[in-house]
């Protein structure tokens, strides 16, 4: 038979297990019949220190959504490494559509073109071409400037033969929402329609 002092000690230790304060940021649930430790109050079924706001369990920091290819968090995912990111932009602003660590796609090697053709809007890649008057894959200073890309729009043109860096479609300067008067690169291009944008790739 156990002695009474030993029984009291065991009961005291058992009770202490349930009266200790919460450790760190681990939430302790409370409610009717489940009181909080001394100095803590029950708010929305969770124990919180008196005078503090209740913990927001809807979006814990360690479970935040990982970054994607578009800085806005939206856009269209074409693959794990390619996003079509819509948005209007001025000179020098286009890179802001891509998330940090992503860049303009430089070719179509990782772009699912069949999926891209289903998108509404046209998304340019870092692939310049021009008409002189024939179609040529290269940048230019004096001839009609183009940027290759993918998507659908009223001003898109299908080359119909050997593509540039894997792309067959292009946008012409000032024949749609893109204006390349300031230079023949995306960084110097203006896009005045937020339904169009850029292709962002993970290096």
Structure confidence at residue 47 (pLDDT): 73
Provide DSSP, 146-176: EEEEEEE-TT-EE--SSPBTTB-EEEETTSS
pLDDT at 61 over 90: no
Cβ within 8 Å of residue 93, ≥6 positions away = none
- Longest Cα–Cα distance of the chain, Å, equals 105
More confident of the two residues 140 and 33: 140
Structure confidence at residue 53 (pLDDT): 46
Cβ within 8 Å of residue 68, ≥6 positions away = 75, 77, 83, 99
Find the mean pLDDT for residues 103-120: 95
Structure confidence at residue 19 (pLDDT): 41
Cβ within 8 Å of residue 121, ≥6 positions away = 84, 86, 151, 152, 153, 193, 195, 196, 197
- Residue tagged 């009609």 (tokens): 144
Rg over alpha carbons for the chain, rounded to the nearest Å, is 30
Cβ within 8 Å of residue 201, ≥6 positions away = 69, 81, 82, 102, 103, 104, 105, 106, 110, 111
């Amino acid at each position: 038979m156990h002695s009474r002092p030993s029984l009291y000690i065991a009961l005291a230790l058992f009770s202490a297990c349930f009266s200790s304060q919460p450790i760190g940021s681990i939430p302790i649930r409370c409610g009717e019949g489940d009181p909080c430790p001394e100095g803590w109050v029950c708010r929305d079924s969770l124990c919180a220190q008196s005078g503090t706001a209740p913990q927001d369990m809807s979006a814990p920091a360690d479970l935040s959504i990982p970054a994607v290819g578009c800085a806005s968090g939206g856009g269209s995912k074409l693959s794990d490494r390619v996003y079509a990111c819509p948005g209007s932009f001025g000179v020098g602003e286009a890179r802001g559509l891509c998330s940090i660590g992503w860049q303009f796609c430089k070719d179509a090697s990782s772009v699912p073109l069949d999926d891209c053709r289903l998108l509404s809007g046209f998304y340019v890649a870092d692939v310049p071409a021009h008409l002189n008057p024939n179609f040529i894959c290269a940048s230019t200073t004096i001839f009609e400037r183009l940027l290759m890309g993918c998507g659908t729009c009223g001003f898109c043109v299908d080359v119909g033969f050997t593509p540039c860096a894997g792309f067959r479609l292009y946008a012409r300067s000032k024949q749609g929402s893109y204006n390349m008067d300031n230079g023949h690169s995306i960084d110097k291009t203006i896009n005045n329609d937020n339904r169009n944008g850029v292709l962002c790739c993970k290096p």
